[in-house]
Homo-oligomer: A and B are copies of this chain.
Amino acid sequence: MDRIKPRTLSGFMELLPPAQAKMERFMETLRRCYSLYGFTPLDTPLIESAEVLLAKGGGETEKQIYRFTKGDSDLALRFDLTVPLAKYVALNYASLSFPFRRYQIGKVYRGERAQRGRFREFYQADIDIIGDGKLDIVNEAEIPSVIYRSFTALGLTKFVIRVNNRKLLSGFYGMLGLTELSAGIMRAVDKLDKIGPEKVGAILREDLGLSPEDAEAILRFIAIRGTNAEVLAALDAYAGKNELFDTGLSELKTVAAALPAFGVPEGNFALDLTIARGLDYYTGTVYETTLTEHPEIGSVCSGGRYDNLAEYYTDKPLPGVGISIGLTRLFYVLQEQGMLSEELITAPADVLVLPMTEDKAFALRCATVLRDGGIRAQLYTEQKKFKARLAYADRLGFPFAAIIGEDEVAQGKLALKNMRSGEQRLVSPEQSVIEVLKVIAEQHGAKVIKEE
């Protein structure tokens, strides 16, 4: 037979079982944390009509899109989860209750140039809160709490949620009489981390034609640093000159003031006037999240407040606030950094049941008792030597083996071997449930990410 060489396309993540087990835990943790805030799970098609998906049109994205025809249909694979959400909300407007909070963890597709750590198929994990016409500022204040809880549950402690407000920035540029240029200025300021203040200053003066004084004023403004209280005090000095600025400052104060009640420590939060988010889409609070010891990764969770989710589909104003985690890339980077915990059980089950007798009925019953008790139990019935069977348990990292020979069957018990300590005890099937639970609870409780 002519055989085809099996391969997986480059830019498509396909994990071996132990890594996949960690990825599953990662997603499960996010689902649980998002659920705690009233986000409902959503699932939308991978394929949409190209017309619908590209309603916004243009830009870098369109070149990267997977687009094809099937019969008469012009189709495309989704390239983010925001456009499908906009479609969903516009389409189901009458059936939904607002504010509408949804999370979606799903794959999206972008035909980027293949390179290490760049993916063409990748998971995004998004949450959004959509209002009908209006949306209270408390929703914007709650987002850092979702990020904090999720990241902490994943096992991270060394991260900072950096927050700014686009109204504050626009208002400030308004004070300088630069409202028309504010989109361009924000794009320049957004590069501060990468290129430094001098080059940003050069762009402001040379590309955007700002006076040296205005450029200087902007650089001084975005250089404001300190605790939340210090930053807010420095901003107070600019108050009273521009209405938009004052609104932005008031919103920023509301967001910062809500942190203690939401349980977000000040150490994991920073008001950062350099954050603008490139997209013109955002209109209020904006978020970026960076790992303190890995600034080179850039933001791993970003988003913000917008005024019109679905303007391409409906005339209903649908303001919202949302954030997105680029899950596949984050997972890849954590793996590269050795930051995925080895504590988690990645074995396919907690107990490998090894029947050593011809009649396996008692062993099967033991497996059934374990499963009834909620323990993951795998039977191993292949005709292999005892040593080979234990090696299988060892290689896959089973926490326990349950060895069932003639003696055990005669006594109605099993020999429960703790694979880590090597300790072996003769217990009844029911006792084994409790014994196993005691030991694995701790390992199953381990967090997926481990910091140094």
Partner-B contacts on A (CB < 8 A): 1, 3-9, 12-17, 20-21, 23-24, 35-49, 51-52, 55, 66, 68-71, 73, 75, 86-88, 90-92, 95-97, 99, 101-102, 107, 109, 111, 121, 131, 134-136, 138-139, 142, 145, 149, 257-258, 260-263, 310-315, 348-349, 352, 360-362, 364-365, 367-368, 371-372, 374-383, 392, 395-396
Do residues A3 and B121 form an inter-chain contact, with CB atoms below 8 A? no
Asked if residues A101 and B378 are in contact (CB atoms below 8 Å), the reply is: yes
Cβ of A226 to closest chain B Cβ, rounded Å = 23
Q: Would you call A145 and B313 a contact (CB within 8 A)?
A: no
Contact in complex: A70, B66 (CB < 8 Å)? yes
Chain B nearest Cβ from A224, distance in angstroms:
26
Q: Determine the chain B residues whose CB is within 8 A of the CB of A97 once the complex forms.
A: 392, 395-396
Task: List 13 A-B residue pairs with CB atoms under 8 Å apart, sorted by A's residue number.
Answer: A3-B312, A5-B313, A8-B44, A8-B48, A9-B73, A21-B40, A23-B43, A35-B376, A38-B377, A101-B348, A258-B361, A258-B364, A262-B367
Q: Is the CB of A138 within 8 A of B379?
A: yes
11 A-B pairs besides A7-B49, A12-B47, A21-B40 with CB distance below 8 A are: A3-B55, A4-B51, A8-B91, A9-B48, A20-B42, A38-B348, A71-B111, A97-B396, A101-B348, A136-B381, A261-B362
Interchain CA distance A6-B85 in the complex, whole Å: 11
Chain B residues lying within 8 Å of A261, measured Cβ to Cβ, are 360-362, 364-365, 368
Inter-chain contact A35/B349, CB cutoff 8 Å = yes
One complex includes copies of this chain to the number of 2
Q: Which residues of B contact A142 (CB under 8 A)?
A: 364, 379
A364 to B131, CA, bound (A): 19
Q: How far is the CA of A75 from the CA of B120 in the complex (A)?
A: 13
Smallest CB gap from A352: residue in B:
B38
A45 touches which of B9, B134, B258, B383 (Cβ 8 Å): B9
Which residue of chain B is the closest to A134 with respect to CB atoms?
B382
Give A4 to B70 CA distance when docked, in angstroms: 21
Of the candidates B4, B43, B349, B376, the one whose C-beta lies within 8 Å of that of A20 is B43
Check B312–A360 contact: CB distance below 8 A. no
Specify which chain B residues have a CB less than 8 angstroms from the CB of A43 in the assembled complex.
14-15, 20, 23
Point out the residue from B40, B52, B111, B138 that lies within 8 Å of A7, measured CB to CB. B52
A96 and B9 CA atoms in complex are apart in Å by 20
- A133–B434 alpha-carbon span in the complex (Å): 36
Cβ contacts under 8 Å, A377 to chain B: 36-38
| A14: B residues at CB distance < 8 A | 43-45, 88
A383-B314 contact given A48-B9, A70-B111, A261-B368, CB 8 Å threshold: no
Q: Which residues of B contact A96 (CB under 8 A)?
A: 16-17
Q: Which residues of B contact A258 (CB under 8 A)?
A: 360-361, 364
* Residues in B whose Cβ lies below 8 Å from that of A360: 138, 258, 261
A206 CB to closest chain B CB (Å) equals 34
Per the bound structure, the CA–CA distance linking A20 and B96 in Å amounts to 13
| Chain B min CB distance to A153 (Å) | 11
User: Assuming A261-B361, A348-B101, is B314 touching A6 (CB within 8 A)?
Assistant: yes
Q: A9 contacts which of B47, B121, B362 (Cβ < 8 Å)?
A: B47
Separation of A99 and B380 alpha carbons in the complex (Å):
8
**In the complex, A99 Cα to B135 Cα: how many Å?**
54
Q: Quick check: A378 and B102 within 8 Å, CB to CB?
A: no
| B residues less than 8 Å from A131 (CB atoms) | 382
Q: Is the CB of B312 within 8 A of A45?
A: no
**Residues A383 and B134 in contact in the complex (CB < 8 Å), given A47-B121, A314-B3, A368-B262:** yes
Q: Please judge, given known A-B contacts A90-B6, A383-B136, whether A349 and B38 are in contact too, CB under 8 Å.
A: yes
Chain B residues with CB under 8 A of A24: 41
Closest Cβ–Cβ distance, residue A154 to chain B (whole Å): 16
A396 and B101 CA atoms in complex are apart in Å by: 12
Contacts of A46 in B (CB 8 A): 46, 107, 121
* A5 CB to nearest chain B CB (Å): 7
Shortest 6 CB-CB contacts between residues of A and residues of B:
A38-B378, A68-B68, A261-B364, A38-B349, A138-B381, A40-B348
Q: A15-B43, A378-B38 are in contact. Are A7 and B145 (CB under 8 A)?
A: no
For A374, what are the chain B residues with a Cβ–Cβ distance below 8 Å? 36
Let me know if B45 and A12 touch, CB within 8 A: yes
